[in-house]
A = this chain, B = another copy of it.
C-alpha cells in the first residue's frame, strides 16, 4: 500500500520532537519579525533605484560597496569590512546597433540586441555580413564550410518542457559561452545568440561569454526572442540579406573590487563560520534586482532579524556580498582563497542567487549524512511553503569554498518560472520583486542558518 505523501508529511510534523517544537516557535518568531518589520524590500529599493546596474569595475560598483557597508552596519553587524580582489573591467561602450540590410525596399525596424559580457566590439565601423543560422553545434559543424566571412546566428530555443527553468538555462547557455569561439574557429566575423529566455517580450538578455584563446575574438551579441524570429524568417526568405552589427564594448585592464562582509560574532564558537550571501554586482543594463540584489538583501535581513529577535548564534554568521559573480567570479574565488590561507573553519555556506521569488526549497552539495540531517528538519520549513531538498546545487560564489575547503553548501531554490523572463535583461528591476516572496526567502534561509548554527552539520 502506498501511503499518500501528505499524510506522511503531516505525520512528520506531528512527530516533531520537543526540541523541534521549540525550534518551530523560534523560527515562527523570526518569521513574524521579517514579515512585519523586515527591511529587505526597502534595502532593495535603495540599491536598485538609487544605484541601479553595478557591473564589476563600474562607478556604480563602488557605490554599491558603500551601500552594502552601510546596510550591514544598519542591520547591526558586529563588524563590517571589505575584502579586496582584482576584478575584470569590461565596458559596453555605445548603444549597440543591429539592422537587416536588404535589397528589398521594405522597412525593417532595427534588431534589439545587447553585446555579450566580456565580448570584443566590432570596431566603430561595424560588421556587415551575410548571416548563417544554426540550431545546434552539430549543425555548425555540418555547415562549417559555409561559415567563413559570415555572422553565425545561434537560434537554439529555450526548452519549454523543463519544469524547473534552470535546466533549460543549463541546456541553452553553452551557445552564449562557447558559441563565439566555435564560430570563429571556422572564420565567422561575429555571432548573434538567441536570448536564453522564454519571455513573451523582445528584450535581449546579456550574460558573459568565454573566448577560446586559440581563435580570433569576434563580436558577440544576444538578440530578443521576437527579433530572433524576425531574423530567422528573413534569412529563409531573403537570400541576399545581410546584417549590420556595431558594438564598441571592450575589456580594460583589471581593476579593484571588494567583497563586502558583515559578521555577527558567535557566542560559543566565534572561529567557526557560517557564510550566507549573494552577489553585489549585476549586469549594467538592468537594476539587478533578482540577480542578485535580492540575495544580498535577504542575507542582510537574516543578520538584522536575528538581532531583533534575540537569536544569538553560537558560530559566527558571516554575511558576504560577493564581488563580480557575473563576469569573473573573482569575489567568490578570493573569499575561498583567504579562508584557506587563514585556515578558517567553515561549517556551512548558503547563497541566494536564483531570484527573489517565492521559495520552494534548497539545492545542496554536501555529504549524504549531512544532507539527511538537513532533510530531517524539513517539517520545520513546510509551514513556509518550503518542501524541496531533493536536488543538487549550490551558489556560484560559494562553489570555490565548497571545492577548496569541502564546506557543505546550499542555495535557496525559489520558484523558477519567472526568473528567465527577466534574467540579465532590462526587465530585471525592482518592480519585478514581490515583497512577501522576498521576505519568505529570507525566512527560509534564516531558518536553515539557525538550525545549522544550533546543531552543527
Question: Given A415-B385, A435-B200, are A375 and B4 also a contact pair (CB < 8 Å)?
Answer: yes
Q: How many residues of A contact B (CB 8 A)?
A: 47
Copy count, this protein chain: 2
In the complex, are the beta carbons of A163 and B417 less than 8 A apart? no
Question: Given A2-B12, A200-B435, A163 and B385 touching (CB < 8 A)?
Answer: yes
Q: Does A390 contact B (CB under 8 A)?
A: yes
The answer to whether B163 touches A389, judged by C-beta atoms less than 8 angstroms apart, is: no
CA distance A5 to B15 in the complex (A): 12
A203 CB–B CB distance under 8 Å: no
Q: Is A360 an interface residue, CB under 8 A from the partner?
A: yes
Q: Does A25 sit at the interface, judged by CB under 8 A? A: no
Q: A12-B2, A375-B5, A375-B6 are in contact. Are A417 and B434 (CB under 8 A)?
A: yes
- With an 8 A cutoff between CB atoms, is A382 at the interface? yes
User: A438 — nearest CB in chain B belongs to which residue?
Assistant: B417
Q: Which residues of B contact A17 (CB under 8 A)?
A: 2
Q: Let me know if B8 and A8 touch, CB within 8 A.
A: yes
Let me know if A32 is at the binding interface, CB within 8 A.
Answer: yes
In whole Å, how far is A35's beta carbon from the nearest beta carbon of chain B?
A: 5
When distances are taken between beta carbons in the complex, the residues of chain B under 8 Å from A382 are 5
Q: Are B198's CB and A436's CB within 8 A?
A: yes
B residues near A436, Cβ cutoff 8 Å: 160, 165, 198, 417-418
Q: Looking at the assembled complex, report how far the CB atom of A293 sits from the nearest CB atom of chain B, in whole angstroms.
A: 16
Interface status of A49 (Cβ within 8 A of chain B)? no
State the CA gap A198–B436 with chains docked (Å): 9
Max chain B CB contacts within 10 Å: which of A17, A200, A372?
A: A200
Whether A6 contacts B378 in the complex (CB less than 8 A), given A36-B160, A163-B385, comes out as: yes
Question: Which residue of B358, B360, B389 is within 8 Å of A417 (Cβ)?
Answer: B358
Residue A437 interfacial (CB < 8 Å): yes
Residue A230 at the chain B interface, CB threshold 8 Å: no
Contact of A160 among B15, B35, B372 (CB under 8 A): B35
> With an 8 A cutoff between CB atoms, is A98 at the interface?
no
Q: A123 on the interface (CB 8 Å rule)?
A: no
* Candidates B160, B200, B440; contact of A163 at CB < 8 Å: B440
- B437 x A418 contact (CB < 8 A): yes
Say if the beta carbon of A421 comes within 8 Å of chain B: yes
**Residue A82, interface by CB 8 Å:** no
A414 → B minimal CB distance (Å): 10
Chain B residue at minimum C-beta to C-beta distance from A28: B161
Chain B residues lying within 8 Å of A384, measured Cβ to Cβ, are: 163
Closest chain B residue to A32, Cβ basis: B161
Nearest CB in chain B: distance from A125 CB, A: 40
A171 within 8 A of B: no
A390 touches B2 (CB 8 A): no
**CB atoms of B417 and A5 under 8 A apart:** no
Nearest Cβ in chain B — how far from A12, in angstroms?
5
Considering only CB atoms, which chain B residue lies closest to A37 in the complex? B160
Which residues of chain B are within 8 angstroms of A46 by Cβ–Cβ distance? none
Q: List 23 A-B contacts (CB under 8 A).
A: A2-B376, A4-B378, A4-B389, A5-B8, A5-B12, A5-B375, A5-B387, A6-B378, A6-B388, A6-B389, A31-B163, A32-B161, A35-B160, A35-B161, A36-B160, A163-B385, A163-B440, A165-B436, A198-B435, A198-B436, A358-B415, A417-B436, A417-B437
- Per CB-CB distance, the 7 closest pairs between chain A and chain B, nearest first, are A4-B375, A5-B378, A417-B436, A35-B160, A8-B8, A358-B415, A417-B437
Known: A4-B376, A160-B436, A421-B434. 13 other contacts (CB 8 A): A2-B376, A4-B372, A4-B389, A5-B382, A6-B387, A6-B388, A6-B389, A6-B390, A35-B161, A36-B160, A163-B383, A358-B358, A387-B387
